[in-house]
Every structure is written in structure tokens, then in C-alpha cells.
Amino acid sequence: MEDMPEINTLGLSASNLIHSAGNWRVHSIFKHNINIVNNQNELLTLSSDMAKGPFSLNLSGFFDFIAAHIERKDAVSISPDGVTVGQFVFPIKKDASLYDARVSFPSPPVLEKSFVQEIQQLIFEEYKKSEYASFYHNNFIPLVNKLEDGQAQPADLLGLGFGATPSGDDFIMGYILWQSRGKEKAVFSRKLLFHKTNVISANYIFYLQKGHITEKIKKIVENLFTKDKIVTLREARSYGYTSGIDFLYGFTEALRHFSNI
């Protein structure tokens, strides 16, 4: 079994980050991370477990503190020591990625058609339980079917859905990731991404095309190839509201389409 090229997780190198143009500001705050952007709309995701503070850290206090600094222009600063937000420092390693996980893909695929079908059936069950069930049933799944039949293009899914990373964007990430197997693949231009969807999604897709993914995506992919349906679904559910499920749908669709599964 031949391993495909490894994939870096999303994250600018320390040297590029320090010298990147534009002032950085807090863009959005979630349960376990903060997104900051600069004047060029480059995105950096900071995980709460990376934070080093001058006092005992708890999540609620941490995010309350960060939220209070959103409007301050000096809330975010970057130096060789790390990214500073208020009194918290997110350390970075010199000339290394902020996140350095790796994932490899087996070739040829080691997943049987029946297993992929079972995973997709579980995905559809998740959609039925969602508060956006009608959106998935009436809009999202039919458009994916058109994609498979050649009646739609991946770009038609950009920005489709709700939240910080709409369902269509998460699907596309999964789709492109298997299609490219970790090699650079410029499916969408940066200009198109920022025109069709939001800053967070645009950056995630742009960097994925360059071979960079997040830690959560890495875990979903690794669990899928262990053929453990329960763990795979649990990991997918833990990623955003439906982001992990949408990503898994796109990844399995690409498996079916590009690997004759």
C-alpha cells in the first residue's frame, strides 16, 4: 500500500506570519478557538488550548476577556514570541507551522462500496435530525446529486448554507481533499472564493488547495480509514454544528466519484 503525500494543517509559518502585511484583528470567537484576520483577509485560527495567560485559565473567562477586546485596534499583536491577544499569548515556533499534524492517504482506497454507502446513510440520518433538515432535503442533497450527474459544478456549492463555514463549503473541502490526495490543486481562485463565500471559509478552502488542513479534518479522515463508523461519526459531529458531517459527505462523494466506489 503506497502512502500519498502528507498534508500540513492550516497555519502560516512563523516567519511568514511575523512579516505578513496588514494589522491583525479578532474576526470571530467560537467555543474552542478564535479567528483573527489581517488587512489582506488572511486568516489565522488560534486554539484555546494554545493560550498562555498570567492567571488561571478557564474557557468562559478566556472568551469573555477576548470578546471585550474585539473593538480595540491594539487587541492583536504578533512578534517572534507569538500571537498576543489582550493578556494572552499563543506561542509559535520559529520557522515552523503553528500546527504540524500530518495525514496520509492509502492508495488504492481500502474502503468498500458498502462501507461508504453505510457512512452516507448515517450522514443522511444526521441531516434529518438537524434544524435545517428541509434545507438539506430540498436544496443541498439535490444539488450534490446534480454535481455527480454533471449538471452542476463545485462552484455552485460555494457559500451555500449557514454559519461560519456554510455546508456547501465544508462539502467542497471534503470533495477537493480526496480529489487532490494532498497535492496542490487550484480548483478555485482566491478572488472567486472571497466573492462567493465568507472570510473564514474562503481561507480554509484556499489553504486546503495548497495542502493545508485543520486538526479536526485530519482526525475525521484518519478515523474513516480505520473503518470505525461510530468513531468517525462522533469525530465528525464534534466539528462545528454540521461542518464535520458536511465535510464527511463531500469526502465520501469524492471517494465514490473519483475512485469508482
pTM of the model: 0.77
Give the model's pLDDT for residue 101. 47
Dist. CA 223–CA 216, nearest whole Å: 11
Residues of the chain with pLDDT under 70: 1-22, 31-32, 47-75, 80-81, 86-87, 91-109, 182-186, 260-261
The tens digit of pLDDT for each residue in 57-92 reads: 445 555 565 566 555 555 677 776 677 776 677 766
Give the model's pLDDT for residue 40. 77
Q: Where are the beta strands (DSSP E) in the chain?
A: 2-3, 8-9, 25-29, 33-37, 43-47, 76-79, 82-85, 88-91, 106-107, 212-213
